[in-house]
């Protein structure tokens, strides 16, 4: 009688494993994946910093980028006052600087345009 009761609950042992797997799947799609996306977007924004951009630091300081290095950003926070920050300290870009579009130089072999 004891053996019959133990062998009859075969599907009951699989249910907790499925619930744990489902929980990890939900955590991945609801928490981990969006955080990775935000981190990638922040890294791209920090790599694209250029002089003239108006930014906000993680401390809430507004400034204009005047210089960019591999690891640091030089911000002008007031006329004549410049401070140096690490690139990850820039939280967001308020306005982008006007950047001229790059125009490829014409090759010397190209024929002149006739008007």
Look up tokens 């001229």; give the residue.
100
- The H or E element spanning position 20 is helix 14-27
In a domain, 22, yes or no: yes
List the single range of 6-10, 71-75, 85-89 with lowest mean pLDDT: 6-10
Least confident span in 10-19, 49-58, 102-111: 102-111
- Residue 105 in this model has a pLDDT that exceeds 90: no
109 within a domain of the structure (yes/no): no
pTM: 0.61
Does residue 21 sit within a domain? yes
104 in any annotated domain? no
Q: Is the Cα dihedral 21, 25, 31, 32 positive or negative?
A: positive
Domain housing 65: 9-95
- The better pLDDT of the pair 103, 48 is held by 48
Please give the average per-residue pLDDT across 63-72, as a whole number.
93
Count of structural domains within the chain = 1
Report residue 48 CA to chain centroid gap. Answer: 11
Task: Classify residue 1: in a domain, yes or no.
Answer: no
Please state, in angstroms and rounded to a whole number, the distance separating the CA atoms of residues 64 and 95.
9
Confidence class of residue 102 from pLDDT cuts 50, 70 and 90? Answer: low
Reading the block at residue 63, the tokens are 């400034």
List the one residue out of 78, 73, 42 whose CA is nearest residue 63. 78
**How far apart, in whole angstroms, are the C-alpha atoms of residue 83 and residue 53?**
15
Is 42 among the domain residues? yes
The mean pLDDT value of the chain amounts to: 83
pLDDT of residue 115: 45
Q: Which domain CATH number covers 40?
A: 2.30.30.30
When pLDDT is cut at 50, 70 and 90, the band that residue 8 belongs to is: low
Distances (CA, A) of 30 to 27, 36, 73: 5, 11, 33
């Amino acid at each position: 009688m004891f053996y019959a009761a133990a062998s009859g609950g075969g599907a009951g042992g699989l249910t907790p494993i499925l619930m744990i797997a489902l929980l990890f799947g939900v955590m991945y799609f609801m928490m981990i994946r969006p955080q990775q996306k935000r981190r990638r977007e922040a890294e791209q924004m920090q790599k694209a910093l250029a002089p003239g951009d108006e930014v906000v630091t993680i401390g809430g300081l507004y400034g204009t980028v005047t210089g960019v290095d591999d690891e640091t950003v030089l911000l002008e926070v007031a006329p004549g006052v410049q401070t140096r920050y690490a690139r990850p300290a820039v939280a967001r870009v308020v306005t982008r600087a006007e950047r001229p579009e790059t125009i490829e130089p014409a090759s010397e072999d190209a024929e002149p345009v006739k008007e």
